[in-house]
Amino acid sequence: MATCRCWWHFARLAQGPQANQVYFRQAHPAAAAGPATVAVRLPPGRYRCTACRVGYGHNDAYSQYLAWGRPAALTPAQEASLRALNHDAPARQTTVQVGPGGLTQAFDMRENDVVLLKISRAG
Strands 32-40 and 103-110: antiparallel
Give per-residue pLDDT as tens, 9-37.
Answer: 999 888 889 999 899 899 989 999 999 99
Mean pLDDT check: name the lowest of 19-28, 41-50, 96-105: 19-28
| Residue 1, pLDDT above cutoff 80 | no
List the domain boundaries for the chain: 2-11+34-121
Strands 92-98 and 2-8: unpaired
Q: How confident is the model at residue 57 (pLDDT cuts 50, 70, 90)?
A: confident
Q: What amino acid is encoded at 17 in this protein?
A: P
Give the sign of the dihedral formed by CA 48, CA 91, CA 34, CA 13: negative
The share of the chain scoring above pLDDT 90, in percent, equals: 77
As a residue count, the chain comes to: 123
| Residue 2, pLDDT above cutoff 90 | no
- The pLDDT, as a whole number, for residue 8 is 95
pTM over 0.75: yes
Superfamily per CATH, domain 2-11+34-121: Glycosyl hydrolase domain; family 39 (2.60.40.1500)
